[in-house]
Each structure stands twice: as structure tokens, then as C-alpha cells.
Amino acid sequence: MAVGVDADGNPTLFGVPIKFLVCCLLVVQNGGAVLLMRSVRALPGEKEFVTQTAVIMQECLKACTCMAVMKCQQLSVSQAWGDTVETMKTSVPALLYLVQNNLQYVAVGLLDAPTYAVTYQTKVFWVAICSAVFLGRQIKNQQWFALMILMGGVCAVQYQPSTGGKDDASQSVAMRATGVCMLLGAALCSSLAAVSFEKLLKGSNVDMWTRNLQLAFFSIICSAVPLLLSSDGSRILEVGFFHGYTPLTWTCIAMNAWGGLLVGAVIKYADAILKDISIGASICVSAGGSVFLFNAEITWNLVIGIVFVSWAVPLYAGRASLGLFSMAPPPETKAYKPVAQTEVVVMGKEGPHTVSDE
């Protein structure tokens, strides 16, 4: 059987734990997406489209993918809206992601690149704190230390010394302080969104595809309303919704949409902390890829950062010691205990029937 469970009760695919597979996929996908975005930005004329239209298309593609999978699983799409209270709960992460995006959007104009990169990386701590507070997850001292090393490594990889140019001088202390506060807020929103989505996935019997469909629906509303009210709204009425779209724009949209679904799968099969650890590792993959693809310079901070991250990941998993790598057994963590997810009654085409949640 391709699908099974291991000795710890974790679902497996061909004997490999699915949580391990989805984390590795996220590292590759996220790293690849960053490299793709970079190559798109490098092409002239690729920034003609209104960014917010791409966000909406991304959510539409996510919704279509979810509906296609639900159809294959013989789940009725309408059951996603059957229980109003459960459906409305998904608006919480959607709203948090909306606030996060807008805070990041403003903060990027107030901060220089190094401060931005370092401040946003604090999210790996926020997500651990939120997991401990809201999900009761116990994090060992060694794991806190691993998260600190990971954060240091990712910051080092992303660090580019300030040029000391006009832009740096024109940023007042007050502007920078406002930017830092906004970005800390964005990092907190990202963590709260991930943890609340984890709670929704593991704390109820609503399946992952239904939750993703609901999230995409709320995200479309959250993106479309501000777009219509902004100056970009009148611009797209003038030039058309798909103005400036090229095959590469569509590729980025697909990458982000399926990347988002992969984030959901990592949160379901692993957890919100491992999601941020995978994204941290993917930053090293994309930085390393830039060296090969775009002839980026190999700097000391890149090398040190990659070494730190390569140490932090097995250290968090309990597969490395504080000194050298060792195959010590993973530390026992008190996992978030989901509700029993054996069978769910769903409204299929042929009436109510039970399906397994996996």
C-alpha cells in the first residue's frame, strides 16, 4: 500500500512520513518561487500588471484546485458553506493574512533591506510562542536554541550591508521605529494566522481542502474590496484586469497558489513551527541558487548563514547535538492533541456518507 502509518501513527507515503515529504517540498517550492520571482523582475516589461489582480487570480486558482480535489474525493463543494459557524472561523486566518500583507507593504517603504529582513525573521519565535500559548505545545530549551540559530542564519543569508546612500540618510529614527513596529506586527499576524489555521485543521473534523477553499474565498473578498476602492481599481477598469499578463506572470501565480496549498499541507501534516523552519531553509536554497543562476557573489555571511541553518534544522529535530551532529533520538515534545479524526460525515452527491479525514 502506498499510503500507510508509521510506528508513531504519522501518515506515510511509500514508507516515508508525509510530514517530512511536505516540508522538503516546501523548501524546494519556496526556494524555486523566489528564484522565479527574481528572474521575472529581471525581465523588462514584466511589472506592467497590477499586483493585486495577481493575488486575486492566485486565490481563484487555489479555490479551483481545492474544488477539483474535493470532486475527486466525492465531497460536495456546497458542504464547505453548510456550517456557518465553522465557515466563519476560517475568516480569522484570512483577516490575519490580510493585515499581515498590508503591514508588510507599508513597512517595506519605511525600512532599509537589512532591517526589514532581520525584523521579519523574528516570526520564527513568534510562531513558537503562539504554538506554546494557543496549542499548548511544549518546546524544549534545545529547540528554542535551534530557533535562535536558525533566525541568525537566515538573517546572515539575507543581510546586505547598507550602502549609506541618500535613502538611508532620509529615513528618520521615527520612521524606522514605526516600520519596525509594523513589521513586528506583520510577523505576529503571520504566526497567529498559521497557528489559528493549525487549530482549525487539527481541532475539527473539517478536511484540509474544505478549509483551504474557505480560506481562498475569504482571501478573494479581502483582496477584491480594497482593490476596487483604490486608484488601482479605476486603472484596471481602464486597461483591463489582465493587462500586462505574460506566461511568466501566470507561472508565478500558479507557483504562489500551489505554494500556499503546500503551506496548508505542512501545517496539517507537520505544524506551524516546521512551516517557518522550512521557509527559513528555503531562503538558503534560493540564496545558493542565485549564486549559480545569477552569478551572485559568494559572501561570508552567505556561507556562515547556510552553515547555521544546516545546523539548526537537525538540532530542532533532535538529530544533532549542540556540538557535532549525532543521531540522538528526537526530543519528546508534547504534541498538540487533535480531535479524533477517523470518519467525517459529508454531503456527497449521493447524499450523506462517511469518509476518512486523510
Interface residues with ligand C5P (CB under 6 A) are: 97, 190, 197, 212, 215, 260, 263-264, 279
Nearer to ligand C5P, 264 or 305 (CB): 264
Nearer to ligand C5P, 278 or 318 (CB): 278
User: At its nearest, how many Å lie between ligand C5P and the CB of residue 305?
Assistant: 19
SS3 of the chain: CCEEECCCCCEEECCEEHHHHHHHHHHHHHHHHHHHHHHHHHCCCCCCCCHHHHHHHHHHHHHHHHHHHHHHCCCCHHHHHCCHHHHHHCHHHHHHHHHHHHHHHHHHHHCCHHHHHHHHCCHHHHHHHHHHHHHCCCCCHHHHHHHHHHHHHHHHHHCCCCCCCHHHHHCCHHHHHHHHHHHHHHHHHHHHHHHHHHHHHHCCCCCHHHHHHHHHHHHHHHHHHHHHHCHHHHHHHHHCCCCCCCHHHHHHHHHHHHHHHHHHHHHHHCCHHHHHHHHHHHHHHHHHHHHHHCCCCCCHHHHHHHHHHHHHHHHHCCCECCCCECCCCCCCCCCCCCCCCCEEEEEECCEEEEEECC
Nearer to ligand C5P, 190 or 210 (CB): 190
User: At its nearest, how many Å lie between ligand C5P and the CB of residue 238?
Assistant: 28
Residue nearest to ligand C5P according to CB distances in the complex? 260
Nearer to ligand C5P, 260 or 305 (CB): 260
User: At its nearest, how many Å lie between ligand C5P and the CB of residue 197?
Assistant: 6
User: At its nearest, how many Å lie between ligand C5P and the CB of residue 65?
Assistant: 11
User: At its nearest, how many Å lie between ligand C5P and the CB of residue 175?
Assistant: 23
Nearer to ligand C5P, 62 or 320 (CB): 62
User: At its nearest, how many Å lie between ligand C5P and the CB of residue 173?
Assistant: 27
CA distance 134 to 101: 22
Nearer to ligand C5P, 331 or 338 (CB): 338
Nearer to ligand C5P, 143 or 210 (CB): 210
- Contact between 285 and 24 (Cβ < 8 Å): no
Nearer to ligand C5P, 135 or 263 (CB): 263
Amino acid at 212: N
231-247 exposure pattern, b = at least 16 Cβ within 10 A, e = fewer? eebeebeeeeeeeebee
User: At its nearest, how many Å lie between ligand C5P and the CB of residue 194?
Assistant: 6
User: At its nearest, how many Å lie between ligand C5P and the CB of residue 124?
Assistant: 10
